[in-house]
Chains A and B, each alone.
Chain A
Amino acid sequence: MLEDKNEMIALLTGVESSKKSYYTELKKTVDMLQKKNMQLEIMNEVMKSIKIDMTLEEILNNMVDKLKNIIKFDRLSFFLLQNVSLTLINVFPENTFTIERGIDLPRDRSLYWMALTKRQVMFQQVETPTWNFHELEFLRNLKLTSILVVPIYSKNKEIGVICIGRCFREHWHSDDIAFLEQLADHLAVSIENTQLYNEVLRSKQEWENTFKAVDDMIIIFDKHVNVIQMNDSVRHFLKTHHHKDNLLLEQHYKRLANKTFQTEKARYKEIHFEDQSTFELYTYPVYNNKNIVNGVIAYVKDVTEKRKMEVQLLHSGKLAAIGEMAAGVAHELNSPLTAILGNSQLLLRNVKDDDDSFTLLRDIKTCGIRCKDIIKSLLAFSRQEEYTFQSFHINDAVKQVLNLLEYQLEKNQITVITNLHKDLPMIEGSQQQIEQIIINLLLNAKDAVEAIVKDDKEIEIITLLDNQAVKVSVCDNGIGIEQERLSKIFHPFHTTKEAEKGTGLGLSVSIGIAKTHGGSIDVISEVNKGSTFQLVLPLQPTNKTEASV
């Protein structure tokens, strides 16, 4: 009682109390402001990391450095929810790793998981825990006395946890916990943003890579039909093609894109360039999220090869049919011819040279042999086998063709002059295919001379060696070709003949074959004077590709 009284007196006289000083108040305020400042700085730092490209590690390092100044702790670890596992990302200080970085935390009996799933700050005294959670053991090994687990989550997903441990026994201030929760909110935004940003970046990258990787040309237009993007193929085309072709391309895609923009429908157009290449141009409308066309995509595909292939397929398909028929006819004719030849020979034996019928029989025999030769050539030409490259003499090919066509030409009063060089080297290639070219050229020459009224219809075939190449020229004195049409004659289906007489495929197929032999076909022509088609086959093909059908 006396003590109580003395205590009261001490209070009354103020032995243990002093007038409150503004200095101490100010110090408290300044300390508080400094802490608040630091808190703001940390928040700011975390938020800033959204804008600038910062890795998660950098964000964390920055944060921990500053956090140390305002909240006392001995260890901080950071776990991130990746897919469905909680993974250790980093630990501060570095030397307090208890489990390896990147290791997942088991969900069972986990305090950390609990904080995350309940979205609640978890606090445990390590010495006197309220339950036996999984992490207890390694927290004890770290000699921590208390642990605070702060969940990081956004509105629609859990992101991770920050675990802060203390070795010393000190009360956790509610202000600090509130701040940590706030910090976790900011981190959530920051991390979610980073993740989203990376995702967007990745899909954009993927799209761009795809866009770039496409071999065909893709051009993207905005709503004013200005080009806003084009892939590398377009640039390549523009770089490697003639200015005239570039203009042609631009003209076409602009026109078509405009049409698509106006009609809101996909469009198609085929473009033929100077260099004999053929491109397909497609334009498609691009809709925005309001279903309004706000752009156009043009897709340009080089179909030169494809066309060629198609033509060749078509042509060889036809030839195959003709060949098959010819082979059938030849076989059918062979038997009667054998009879004719055999019988005429038998008869000839018994007829004297001066007999009236001798000349007749000899003519029968000669014509029979000639028929046999034609049939033989026909069979050889139409042989149903793959075209294989082998050595052959160009003159043989020319003779073989003439065997087939000479009669037809002479029947039409066309004089065929052959001027074959005797000392030509053998060439590598498919004789049948080369013969096909010569047939095509001869048939064209025949049509050319027939189309003109003239007494001396002439076709001259010349073989020669020039500049390391074997050349076969087919010259006619027919109607010739107009200058402006010269560039188009090799296009598939280009023809001046009536439908039943020509397909427009001959020359395009021929040039295709010439190219597979590394060669080319040159044309010189003058209207009403005639044309010269020259097949050039280099001895050492430079650009030889696989022999194709």
Chain B
Amino acid sequence: MNISKFVTPEIIFGKNSIKQAGEACLRLGAKKVLIVSDQGVAVAGWLDKVVNLCKESCLPFATYTDITIDPKDTEVINGCRSYIENECDAIIGVGGGSALDVAKAIAIVATNGGEIKDYEGIDKIVHPLPPMIMIMTTAGSGSEVSQFSVIVDSTRKKKMTIISKSLVPDIAIIDPLTLMTKDSSLTAATGMDVLTHAIEAYVSIAATPLTDVQAKNALSLVATYLRPSVASKTNEEAKEAMAMASLQAGLAFSNAILGAAHALSHAIGGRFPLPHGEINAILLPYVMDFNFIAAPKRFIDMADCMGIDTRAFTQKEAGNAAIQYVRELSADIGIPKQLREVGISQDMITSICQTALEDACMITNPRDMNLEQMKQLLHQVL
């Protein structure tokens, strides 16, 4: 891969940057905007904040908030109906990965027609999407900058990964102050998601120098600030750092794609309504262990980023140190260690693995993995 490409939206970063929402929308030529969010965000007050900003900018709007964790295709259909009935011509997504992914999915169906499952896979979008502004409030999914949208097919019980350059939002607003309303467990789970994004993107076979910079920086920030961020809702420095980490990890994985941990996580998430970040965190050390031999040099780099002094280490020792670091971080912030702790049992392994092997994320996993190897890996995680 000699030729690479790096896609990114306009990024507005900083404390109180959320105030740009209304004006940013107007700049994109919006006449009426659909604000997509979820109940949690609404309770935290961020929805009202955005609504008031739109009012201040004299921008007509409608809201849609019927979104669950691991959003379903049915939620997309309802949102799309709201978009069309209210004659909207732009979308604001406010919230974590779920709200932002649904906002993107609504944009697809509203302008391209059909059902969301018609667009599963890579580059299936034909017509341009309406202007999209994504306001990230969780520091995890990276959806505000990524070309991904993940929606659960409620009939097939599967997370559909939709990948398209058209899904890259027009403007991403990252306001670290929005992270101060998250409780510690959500901060922990989303923080581990950021870590997984950074690590998988860094070892991805589609990684490029541009993504590497983002991934390594994200990794360092997580290593330094995730613990303090989980520890305190009001640590502004930690929140700002985690917001940046989430943004950079998002830019990295959006362009370098992910790996086996996410492939498996998608397969599990489609079946169980578990926090995406938590599953990633549980799977990550095992996947790292399996992938180590594919890119030992990169593991040393990662250990360096985590602040481990690897100068005396062999490659293997450095790799193990990095994996160990991830385990310890998880343990420190209260992430379960085994899948059985979250309710996954033996008999589900085969079907989970079969689904995971078909996931687009498997393509960029640095080490080839067959069904047996994957099943064996899952056995360990159980």
Contacts and interface: CB of A to CB of B under 8 A. Distances in A.
Interface string B351-367: 00000000010011000
A21 interface: yes
A339 interface: no
B214 interface: no
Contacts of A14: 5, 7, 123, 147, 164-165
A247 interface: no
Contact of A6 (B1, B4, B255): B1
Contacts of B206: 9, 12-13
Interface string A10-23: 11111101111110
B205 A9 contact: yes
B149 interface: no
B128 interface: yes
B335 interface: no
B215 interface: no
A77 to B, nearest CB: 39
A12 B364 contact: yes
Nearest to A18: B165
B88 interface: no
B5 A12 contact: no
Given A8-B363, A9-B364, A15 B122 contact: no
Nearest to A20: B128
Contacts of A13: 4-5, 206, 255-257
A21 B128 contact: yes
Contacts, number: 57
Given A19-B168, A20-B166, A12 B128 contact: no
Nearest to B130: A22
Contacts of A9: 1, 205-206, 257, 363-364
A201 B360 CA distance: 75
Contact of B164 (A6, A17, A22, A24): A17
Interface in B27-86: none
A20 B129 CA distance: 7
Contacts of A21: 128
Which of B122, B126, B168 has the largest count of A CB atoms less than 10 A from its CB? Answer: B122
Interface in B134-149: 147
B219 interface: no
Contacts of B363: 5, 8-9, 12
A354 interface: no
B344 to A, nearest CB: 28
A25 interface: yes
B3 interface: yes
A14 B208 CA distance: 13
B122 A19 contact: no
Contacts of B7: 14, 19
Max chain B Cβ within 10 angstroms of own Cβ: one of A10, A20, A22, A25: A20
B125 interface: yes
Nearest to A19: B165
Nearest to B3: A15
A378 B360 CA distance: 140
Contacts of A20: 125-129, 165-166
A17 B257 contact: no
B300 interface: no
Contacts of A10: 1
Contacts of B255: 13
Interface in B158-184: 163-166, 168
Contacts of B125: 20
Interface in B103-132: 122-123, 125-129
B122 A11 contact: yes
B172 to A, nearest CB: 14
B166 A19 contact: yes
Nearest to A12: B257
Contacts of A18: 165
Q: Interface on chain B toward A: helix, strand, loop, or mixed SS? A: loop
A62 to B, nearest CB: 36
A1 B129 CA distance: 34
A15 B4 contact: yes
A24 B166 CA distance: 13
B165 A25 contact: no
A11 B4 contact: no
B10 to A, nearest CB: 12
B128 A17 contact: no
A19 to B, nearest CB: 4
Interface string B1-15: 101110100000000
Contacts of B364: 9, 12
B234 to A, nearest CB: 38
A21 to B, nearest CB: 6
A17 B1 contact: no
A13 B255 CA distance: 5
A7 to B, nearest CB: 10
Contacts of A17: 123, 164-165
A15 B360 contact: no
Nearest to B123: A17
Contacts of B126: 20
A12 B125 CA distance: 14
A200 B1 CA distance: 78
A20 B170 CA distance: 12
B349 to A, nearest CB: 26
Interface string B289-324: 000000000000000000000000000000000000
B213 to A, nearest CB: 16
A11 to B, nearest CB: 5
A25 to B, nearest CB: 5
A25 B360 contact: no
A3 to B, nearest CB: 12
A25 B125 CA distance: 13
Nearest to A25: B128
Contacts of A22: 128
A20 B165 CA distance: 8
Contacts of A25: 127-128
A463 to B, nearest CB: 116
Given A17-B164, A17-B165, A20-B125, A12 B360 contact: yes
A65 to B, nearest CB: 34
A8 B361 CA distance: 11
Contact of A11 (B3, B123, B168, B256): B123
B186 to A, nearest CB: 29
Contacts of B147: 14
Contacts of B205: 9
A21 B166 CA distance: 8
A535 B29 CA distance: 112
Interface in B199-223: 205-206
A25 B166 CA distance: 13
Contacts of B1: 6, 9-10
B122 A12 contact: yes
A510 B364 CA distance: 131
Contacts of B127: 20, 25
A10 B129 CA distance: 22
Nearest to B121: A11
A22 B29 CA distance: 12
A18 to B, nearest CB: 5
B1 to A, nearest CB: 6
B370 to A, nearest CB: 14
A13 B146 CA distance: 11
A6 B257 CA distance: 13
A8 B205 CA distance: 11
Contacts of A11: 122-123
A5 B368 CA distance: 11
A11 B1 CA distance: 12
Nearest 5 interchain pairs by C-beta = A20-B128, A19-B165, A20-B166, A22-B128, A9-B206
11 contacts: A6-B1, A9-B1, A9-B206, A13-B4, A14-B5, A15-B4, A19-B165, A20-B128, A20-B166, A21-B128, A22-B128
Given A9-B1, A9-B363, A11-B123, 14 more contacts: A5-B363, A8-B122, A8-B360, A9-B205, A10-B1, A12-B122, A14-B5, A14-B123, A15-B3, A17-B165, A19-B128, A19-B168, A20-B127, A25-B128
